[in-house]
Structure 1
Amino acid sequence: MESTEATNPKAYARLTGACYLGLGVAGIFGGFLAIAAQVVPGDPVATAQNLALNGGMVRAGILAWMLTLVLDVVVAWGLYVLTRPADTRLSVLMAWLRLVYVAVHAGAAANLARALRYAEGGGHLEAFGTDQLAALASDALLAHRTGFEIALLFFGLHLGLLAVLLWRSGFMPKLIAALLCASSAAYLVNAVAFLGLATYDRYAALLLGLVSVLAIVAELALAGYLLAVGIRTEPWLRADEKRRTA
């Protein structure tokens, strides 16, 4: 593996870029088109009705979320391989932060299945009224959102360390590193605000808009560069040789 990595880092870069784009597409479908589209703000009953009526779409969305987590593991590994020559210890921490994000997000995603179960009712849930089941489904969706924001704290830290590694190493343009740093800050500010501010709803539109724009620009730039260019081979090989002989 060592010799393959040394002679063909661009293959790892392009695999990582392809997985990054794949998880982006799956995440947009699962998070927005399949699940978030069913939510009616301030109306738990209408939300539960939408979930029940579009159960197949919601299940597909949950599976899409699971696919993103699998691809995230591959991306964590690929980014570790690509940044290891710059700083082995920092790249390990960077990759582990993404894996922690995956683990926390996976736990939170279980609440999506719970929300759908409440919305569809039946079985022992017939003991509950329609309004009660709608409230339980709404609470499960909130539990998912809360867990997801906790996961994004780790993801934001991951992006920050990735930005540092890319800036220092010169393996990619510094503009990409700067965009990742800005995206990291946006993720962290939004997650802290969501978890710590009782008045978060006042700022939600602004913060979520900022996160969305920066995340799309930064991570699309990263994935696009990995696919189109790969990585700057000469500085990568020099750094890798130095690491091997240290």
Structure 2
Amino acid sequence: MDTIETDNIVIKNQISLAKAALVAGLGLLLMALTVPFAEFYIFPELISDDVIETMNNVLSNKMLFTISIFLHFITLICDIIVAWALYIFLKPVMKNFSLLTSWFRLIYTAMYLIALTNLIKILSVVEGSGTIQNNQFADSIMFYFNSFQLEWSFGLVIFGIYLLFLGYLVCKSSYVPNIFGILLLIAGFGYLTHTLGTFFVPSWNLDFLFFTFFGELIFMIWLLVKGRKIDSIIPA
């Protein structure tokens, strides 16, 4: 009886590969909804090449701009959860390397958070807009927004390396089809090439690499459809 009770306690302190896959898939799904809405809908509505127009847009749509910040903040939380869940999901492949891989995503998340503080500073500028000149106000908004984009882009170098590590782990696993590891490797190279190209050869148009970024989203679909059906149990 003691053994059975002990075994039951052990099982209660374990998480299955299936549950880890489901958590990771749901986290990635939520991120797929939050960031695109902020980046491809809200920011194009508010930010333009004209600094005065941008200033007026942010002033008149402060709530919309605030929503964009919280969408990014939700993404940050999801990044942490996904890093943890994928560490558990791929721990049976190579425990230490899976831990290293998750740390790269966490480092990227920390850099993402630092970049996000620039958007919060824009809100501070908006609150104090009555005490500064319009041109100074507009220039401050563009400075912080450009800083956000630049710092986040720098963090994507780390994210690209993370995807390369993740793709390698998936290729080495015996329970995930190799094609998903290959897609993650392609996504990692795509992020690295596009981001480094932006810094070192800004005159080059590397937008054609955009299609490579979908590797993690395709992996997300597999996690939600097939990964959640894996029944193996591993220690937490």
User: If the length of structure 1 is used for normalisation, what is the TM-score?
Assistant: 0.84
Equivalent positions of 1:147-166 (< 5 A) are: 147-166=151-170
Task: For residue 93 of structure 1, report the CA deviation from its aligned partner.
Answer: 0.8
Q: SS state of the match for residue 40, structure 1?
A: coil
Residue aligning to 1:136: 140
Residue type of the alignment partner of 1:87:
M
1:173-218 Cα shifts (integer Å, max 9, x gaps) = 2111111111111111122122334xx1x33xx424523x222x31
Amino acid at match of 2:106: L
Task: Give the match for residue 80 of structure 1.
Answer: 87
1:186 partnered with 2:186: no
> How far apart are 1:7 and its partner, in Å?
7.4
Counterpart pick for 1:167 among 171, 177, 189: 171
Check if 1:227 corresponds to 2:236.
no
Change (3 A) 1:36 1:2: farther
Higher relative contact order (CA 8 A, sep 6+): 2
TM-score normalised over the length of structure 2: 0.87
Shift of 1:119: 4.7
1:214 and 2:212 correspond: yes
RMSD: 2.3
Q: Following TM superposition, by how much is the alpha carbon of 1:170 offset from its aligned partner in structure 2, in angstroms?
A: 3.0
Q: Which residue of 1 aligns with 2:4?
A: none
SS in 1 for 2:25: helix
Aligned mates of 1:232, 1:174 — CA distance in 2: 18
1 CA distance for matches of 2:56 and 2:123? 10
Give the distance between the partners of 1:2 and 1:190, measured in 2 at CA.
46
Q: Deviations over 1:95-152 (max 9, x none)?
A: 00000111110011010122243356435xx2x3211211111111111011101111
1:223 positional shift:
0.9
Percent of matched pairs sharing the same residue: 24
Give the whole-Å Cα distance in 2 for the aligned partners of 1:130 and 1:59: 21
User: Where does the alignment leave 5 or more consecutive residues of structure 2 unmatched?
Assistant: 1-8
1:46 aligns with 2:53: yes
Question: Contact 2:121–2:144 (CA<8 Å) still a contact in 1?
Answer: yes
Aligned length: 227
Q: Mark the CA change 1:196 to 1:152 in structure 2 (over 3 Å): closer, same or farther.
A: same
Question: Is residue 106 of structure 2 the alignment partner of residue 99 of structure 1?
Answer: yes
User: Residue type of the partner of 2:193?
Assistant: V
